[in-house]
Structure formats: structure tokens, C-alpha cells
Amino acid sequence: MYTMAASTNLLDTKTVSLNDILGNGKIYRVPLFQRDYSWEEDNWEDLWNDLLYSFRHDEPHYMGSIVLQSIGESERQFQIIDGQQRFSTLSILALAVIKTIQDLAEKGIETEANQERVEILTRQFIGQKDPASLTYSSKLFLNENNDGFYQSRLIQFRQPVSISKLSDSEKLLWNAYRFFLNRLDDLFKINPKGEEITKFLTHFVADNLRFIQITVKDELNAYTVFETLNSRGVDLTATDLLKNFMFSLVSKSPSDLAVVKTQWKKIVDAIGLKKFPVFLRHYLNSRRELVPKEYLFKAVKQIVKKDSDVLDLLDHLESQAYIYNALSNPYDDYWKTDKDTEELINALTLFNVTQCYPLLMASFEKLPIVEFKKVLRAVVNLSFRYNVIGKLQTNRMEEVYNRVAIDIFSVRLTLAKDIIAELQDIYLQDDEFRKYFELRSFNTNNSQQKKIVRYILYKLNAQLPDGAKFDFETDEGTIEHILPESLNEDWRTEFTEEQHSKYLFMIGNLTLLEPTKNNKEAAAKPFLEKKAIYESSKYAITKQITNQTWTTKMIEHRQIGLAKTACGVWKI
């Protein structure tokens, strides 16, 4: 297991204004391989409305946290780990303000004063003018795809030659600039004074916008901050940081970088940007000691130290990405000719259990398909007992899966029976499983729990004498609440309100019924009338209901019987 050494220099946190950020000659760089500019009109509109509120009430507005990484020993150069969309947009807003004042000077309105304001604001918010070229060197450098347009067009106030030829992110940058120009024109149309427009930027924007600035020393600490912020609901992407690190290792070779970019895109397109860190962690856990999510970046840095390591890792990730997706998609091409495996994957997806993926990835990679299917079936039944019915803690489960996955990957375990034997530590034995099952209820008003109830009832139905096997997803059967959801007068003689709440969603009170019988015939009728309808049902689990009354004792008794049947359905 990884441990983190105590560090007094993990991060430096303080509250700052936009003026604090841009002052003292500081330079900010978006990492070359960070994602492109992506804010759209809704984002610009939200920012503008916040600025208007600050403008009209002269109150500070908090813009959330930004994460910076200091470059080298310099206290004036930083990489923007998180916050590039806000940095870029505020820079564009400053450019729009400067252009608005410049237009006033060109129209002959306070020409000298406004021209001086343009020069001061440009130095303060954009950068210094080079005395030779008379062009401005920037305080902000964007990523490899956006910086050329930002430096050559936006901060030089040069119209693009052909807007239609711009890339999507360049169009967004340009449209953001036009958006703020239009909003400024509306705001100061009645009183177009350079002094007021300048004050809008220098005070209401630069002074009143506040940030929590988090400064870290290296990528590992930056990743730790990412994980901390993510755990508090902040929308950051650790994937970008991982990508930047790997791309930087191969950036000296244009050919390798081109290959890595192409391969990275394939993997991310297959897995999805948000799911990538989870996939990477499951991949690592399928072949090495358990990596807690907060130490994922540290684990990658231990494996990937040079350019060839990046190429090797991406080769392996690409080969695993497709089976990883297939493990959560019963209709994937991997299973299209195998109905049994499709049903097992469907069940695993329904349970929403993912801790087993490292084990299944290793099994698929190292075992013959026949042995893999045996392991998969065992994992599904184990997951049903442990996760769905037992609702037990997953930490122990993850540790066992990791240990066994490593043994499979290293070819110490090659047979399904030996693998299953190693999983016994997390297999809920029959006596304990029955106890949990006898107490379980599922709220059928919740769509996910309703699907699980259908799955359970159909599986139990198929296990009973004379019980046919129906597909729980496609069969038309509905969930019948024997004690109905509405407690009418016919049922109040046997059930109090409190008992109704307790027993309504217990498995013992649930069964299957044809939709016409459920909606039109059974509904909330007295029990004996319902029982007569149940006798003609095609479902064995429903025809078994032959009681003369329906009470709390009857529900408990039926649930005990279903628990015994369940032991035979979900078994290793």
C-alpha cells in the first residue's frame, strides 16, 4: 500500500483578487497538452451576470479555486493546472474592454487620455510591449492548439482571415471576444466614457473577483489537490493531468508525440474522459498491488519514467480498453454470439458492482474463454450475495479481488476452480445469505431497485418446479404488490399504516403478474379476489401463493421460503 510522507510544502493556499494574480510580472502557461478552450455562450452569460451584480452592488464575487504549479524556482511563472477556462475568458474580457476604449480614442473621444488608458490596461492585463516589434508579449500562454490564435489574433486585435476556417476552439475564443464587446457596448451605450469603462475592469472585475489560489510544487501534489477537490464536488479532471505528464515525456520526439496523441485519443474515445482515471486504476489493480485512487498519479509515475514507458503503457491500455467497456455492456460484440455471458454481464451491470473489474480483466487476458466464463458466473453470484443482498463494505472485497487478480496475471492461478476457491473469503455463505435475504426490501418506485426486483423474481420463478425461464428485461410481466401500494379499507383490517410501510416493499410481498391482470383485475382488491387471479397466472412464483389470508406473518413466511430458493439460484 502507498503511504504519503508528511510534507510542509504540499501546497500554498490563499484568497486573491484578479489584480493579485496578474500583478508583479507573473506569467501563466496552460500546459501544452491541456484540453482546448471550451466555454460557450451559457458560460459567458453566467460570468457576465456575476460581473453585472458586482458592478451594480460593488460587492466581491468568488470565482472558486484555481490550482497553479510553480515552474522551476521562479516565483513568477506558473502552469495553470485548473482554471484555464476562467483565465482565458477573463483575459478575453480584458481585451474587449481595451478594444472598447481604443475605439473611443479612434473616434476622437478624449483621444490622448483613452490611448494612455489602453497602454496602461494592456501592460496590466495582457503583457509588455516589445520595443523592437512593438507587439505585446503575453502574461498568458494557452495550449498548443489555441495559443497561436490567441497571440497572433486576439491580443493584436486582428480579425481572423476566415472565421469559417477556424477550429472549433478558436471559434469559441473569437466568439467570446465578440460576446463581451457587444455586452460592453450595451452597458456603456448611454455613457461611453473611458474612465468609467476602465473602472469597470480595474475595480469591478480585477478587484472584486476573488479566487482561492492553490499553488503546488509538482505534478504529484497537483494530483493530490485534484483528488481532494473532486471529493468535495469540484468539477476537475485528473485525466488532463495524467495526459500532460505522459505527453511531456515524449514531447521531444515529434513522431512519438504524434503516435501518442493518436493512441491517447483512441483510448479516451473508447472509455470516456471522466471514466479514464477509474479505468486506469482498474487496469493497474489487475496486475499490481492495490492502488488507492488518491495515489493513482504516484503509481503511474513509478511505472512511467521515460518515453518508451509511455508507449508501452498506452499499448496495454488500448488493448484493455475494449474488454473493459465490454464488461459493462452486455450487448458488446464480444458477447454477441453468447447468450449466457450476455446475461451475466447484464446482471453485473444491473448490480452496479465495479470492484470486480480488475479480476475479470486479468481473467479475460490470461484464461481460456471457458474458464473466464466460470469465473464471471462466480463473480455475478458472489456480487449478488455480497453487494445486492448483504450490502456489505466493499473495501475487503476490493482487496481480495486485487490479490487474486495479481495471481491470475502472474499465472499462479490458471483454473477457474482454484480462482473461485480463493474468493471464498468474500462469499456470503448460505446461512448468512438467508438471514440477509429474509430482511431485504426494495423500493419499486426507484427505477434501479425496480429492475433488480424484476431480475430477482424472474430468476426465482425459473428455479421453481414448473417455473419457465423468461427474460426479465423483455417479458411483459409486471411487479405485483400483494399487499397493495394503496392501503384501502379492505386491507386496514390486517395492516396498520406502520406495518404497510414496513412490509410493502419486502420481497415476500412482491410477485410477477401479467399486465392486464395487474392493472385491471388485481389492483387493490381484497386478498382472496387477488388469489383467484393469481391461480391463472403463467408465473409459477405467483401460482404458489395459495394462502387464505395475507398478513405480516404470511409475508415473512413467504420471504423465508424465497430465501431458501435463492440459495440454490445464486451459488458457487
Q: Is the pLDDT score of 294 beyond 60?
A: yes
Task: Give pLDDT, residue 82.
Answer: 83
Task: Give pLDDT, residue 518.
Answer: 72
Overall average pLDDT of the 288-312 stretch: 87
Task: Give pLDDT, residue 72.
Answer: 75
Task: Give pLDDT, residue 206.
Answer: 92
Q: Which of 177-181, 221-225, 283-287, 444-448 has the lowest mean pLDDT?
A: 221-225
Please return the burial class of 210, using the count of CB atoms within 10 Å of its CB with bins 0-12, 13-18 and 19+. Answer: middle
User: Does residue 342 contact residue 330 with C-beta atoms inside 8 Å?
Assistant: yes
Query: At residue 172, what is the residue type?
Result: L
Overall average pLDDT of the 82-97 stretch: 93
Q: Is 157 helix (H, G, I), strand (E, B) or coil?
A: coil
- pLDDT confidence tier of residue 293, bands split at 50, 70 and 90: confident
> Which ranges of 504-551 does DSSP label H, i.e. alpha helix?
515-516, 527-534, 540-543
Average pLDDT, the chain: 89
User: Does residue 490 contact residue 436 with C-beta atoms inside 8 Å?
Assistant: no
Distance CA 547, CA 531 (A): 8
Overall average pLDDT of the 65-86 stretch: 84
Q: Which of 2-11, 45-54, 422-431 has the lowest mean pLDDT?
A: 2-11
Pairing of strands 11-17, 77-82: unpaired
Task: Give pLDDT, residue 4.
Answer: 37
Q: Is the pLDDT score of 67 beyond 90?
A: no
Overall average pLDDT of the 65-72 stretch: 85
Per residue in 237-266, pLDDT (tens digit) is 567 778 878 888 888 888 888 899 899 999
User: Does residue 80 contact residue 28 with C-beta atoms inside 8 Å?
Assistant: yes
Count the Cβ atoms, other than its own, within 10 Å of residue 173: 24
Task: Give pLDDT, residue 135.
Answer: 59
- pLDDT confidence tier of residue 541, bands split at 50, 70 and 90: very high
User: Does residue 102 contact residue 197 with C-beta atoms inside 8 Å?
Assistant: no
User: Does residue 66 contact residue 163 with C-beta atoms inside 8 Å?
Assistant: no
- pLDDT confidence tier of residue 520, bands split at 50, 70 and 90: low
Count the Cβ atoms, other than its own, within 10 Å of residue 137: 14
- pLDDT confidence tier of residue 404, bands split at 50, 70 and 90: very high
Task: Give pLDDT, residue 6.
Answer: 36
User: Does residue 330 contact residue 343 with C-beta atoms inside 8 Å?
Assistant: yes
As a whole number of angstroms, the longest Cα–Cα distance in the chain is 99
Interior angle at CA 285, CA 284 and CA 287, nearest 5: 75
Task: Give pLDDT, residue 129.
Answer: 66
Distance CA 500, CA 520 (A): 22
Q: Is the pLDDT score of 3 beyond 50?
A: no
Overall average pLDDT of the 355-369 stretch: 97
Task: Give pLDDT, residue 107.
Answer: 93
Task: Give pLDDT, residue 57.
Answer: 85
- Percentage, residues of the chain above pLDDT 70: 92
- pLDDT confidence tier of residue 223, bands split at 50, 70 and 90: low
Higher pLDDT, 458 or 337: 458
Q: Is the pLDDT score of 340 beyond 90?
A: yes
Taking the mean position of all CA atoms in its chain, how far away is CA 18? 30
Higher pLDDT, 2 or 431: 431
**E strand spans, 152-285:** 209-216
Q: Is the pLDDT score of 128 beyond 50?
A: yes
Q: Which of 67-71, 362-366, 425-429 has the lowest mean pLDDT?
A: 67-71
> Which residues on adjacent β-strands are paired with residue 27?
77
Higher pLDDT, 214 or 367: 367
Count the Cβ atoms, other than its own, within 10 Å of residue 408: 27
Q: What does the DSSP assignment read for 399-435?
A: HHHHHHHHHHHTTS--SHHHHHHHTGGG---HHHHHH
Task: Give pLDDT, residue 11.
Answer: 60
- pLDDT confidence tier of residue 229, bands split at 50, 70 and 90: low
Distance CA 68, CA 79 (A): 6
Domain positions in the chain: 11-216, 237-433, 441-569
- Distance from first CA to last CA of the chain, Å, rounded? 30
Query: At residue 520, what is the residue type?
Result: K
Q: Is the pLDDT score of 236 beyond 80?
A: no
What torsion, rounded to 10 degrees, do the Cα atoms 528, 530, 536, 537 define?
A: -140
Overall average pLDDT of the 459-483 stretch: 94
Distance CA 400, CA 196 (A): 66
